[in-house]
Structure 1
Amino acid sequence: MAISEYQVTGMSCGHCEAAVRGEVSQLAGAEDVQVSAKTGRLTVTASAAISDEDVLAAVDEAGYTATRA
C-alpha cells in the first residue's frame, strides 16, 4: 500500500470534501480517500503508486488546488 498526503486549498464544507473525494477516488489504484475541509488534508491510500501529477489533476478537476504535503 502506498499512502500519500496533500494539502488542498479552497475547501470549506462537506460538499467540497465530496467533490475532491469523488474525483480522486476515480484514479486507478485508489483504495481509500480521506479529505477534511477543516484541515485541508487529503490522504490517498492506493494499492499501487499514483503519481502526484494525477492526484493534483484530479483535485484541479474538482475545482481546487493542492500541493504534496
Structure 2
Amino acid sequence: MFELPTGEPLFNIKKHSDWVMALAFSPDTVLLASGDRNGGLHIWESFTGNLFYRSTAIRRHHANELAARLEK
C-alpha cells in the first residue's frame, strides 16, 4: 500500500502463500481484500495494514475477482 501522491510505502502485504491475483476495497475503503493464486483470501484494515480476516482455499484455484457483502 502506498501513499499518494508521494509514493511512500505505508505497509507491505506478505501473508499470502502465492502471488496475489486480485484486490478489492470495501465501498468505504476501510477494508482491502486480496485473493491469491492458491485461492486464499485475506482481508486487511486498509489504514493500518492489520490482518482482519484470513481464509484458506476451499478449492485450489486462483482468484481473478473478489466480491463480498459484510453484514453487521
Both proteins in one fold, TM over 0.5:
no
More strand by share: 1
Q: TM-score of the superposition, structure 1-length normalised? A: 0.31
TM-score normalised by L of structure 2: 0.31
Structure ID, larger Rg? 2
Higher RCO (Cα < 8 Å, 6 or more apart): 1
